Amino acid sequence: DTEVTQTPKHLVMGMTNKKSLKCEQHMGHRAMYWYKQKAKKPPELMFVYSYEKLSINESVPSRFSPECPNSSLLNLHLHALQPEDSALYLCASSQERQGQETQYFGPGTRLLVL
Amino acid sequence: AQSVTQLGSHVSVSEGALVLLRCNYSSSVPPYLFWYVQYPNQGLQLLLKYTSAATLVKGINGFEAEFKKSETSFHLTKPSAHMSDAAEYFCAVIPTGGFKTIFGAGTRLFVKA
């Protein structure tokens, strides 16, 4: 099983809403990632969790708050977002946070902020 | 800093024709190299990866890529295009000793009937 699942598939929210994106994998991977992808652009790394601890935060605004409740789950809490935050949010996982490890991506959550 | 260049933001081929998508990386030390495909409204799917075991790498869906150190290239090919190959293709690298995946800008492949 090389599957990373993400829910919801689509999300529309207002700028005052609070919502969460969820990501799950059961491959035993110990590194999990959040990426943001704008239309016609490559993904941009946001956060990296390694062994359930946040190891990388790529200067992401505080209105995005990641959480890793256990080794299989990764959440992204959203609050007071801006319209420019509308994008495809991709979760990925890999066995370890090592250079040669392949990252497996989920299908993404398409977010629209009104 | 490590970078990845994909030549051609759009490539159009006829069904049954050769597919060639170009990727060059900038590094004095060969990194780990990947090709991902992204179909419309979907996430990224790994096509193949190079991790120094063999210079010619075979992937899924009939794709393959050849690592050429002298040219710092990792071009993606497929002998015969199929309509279902129409998608966005991303070349990516992870620098040796690093972990962060660096993506190229992407190449949109169009397949004409």
Across the strands, what pairs with A75?
Answer: A22, A67
The average pLDDT across B54-66 equals 92
Residue B53 phi, psi (nearest 5): -75, -40
Dihedral through CA A101, CA B105, CA A63, CA A74, nearest 10? -30
Residue B32: which pLDDT band, with cuts at 50, 70 and 90? confident
Distance CA B42, CA A106 (A): 8
Length of chain A as a residue count: 114
pLDDT, position A103: 83
User: Could you tell me which residue, B42 or B82, shows the higher pLDDT?
Assistant: B82
Q: Does A102 touch chain B (CB under 8 A)?
A: yes
Mean pLDDT, 10 residues at a time, chain A of 114 residues: 88 93 94 92 91 85 95 95 96 75 88 96
Distance from CA of B59 to the nearest CA of A (A): 13
Pick from A31, A42, A97: CB nearest B90:
A42
Q: Could you tell me how many CB contacts below 8 A there are between chain A and chain B?
A: 53
Task: Say whether A41 and B43 touch across the interface (CB within 8 A).
Answer: no
Pick from A31, A43, A102: CB nearest B103:
A43
**In terms of Cα–Cα distance, which of A91, A76, A98 is closest to A4?**
A91
Q: What does DSSP assign to residue A103? A: P
pLDDT, position A99: 55
Which structure tokens are listed for A3?
Answer: 């599957």
pLDDT in tens, A63-91: 999 999 999 999 999 999 999 999 999 99
Q: Which residues of B touch A8 (CB under 8 A)?
A: none
Pick from B36, B42, B90: CB nearest A107:
B42
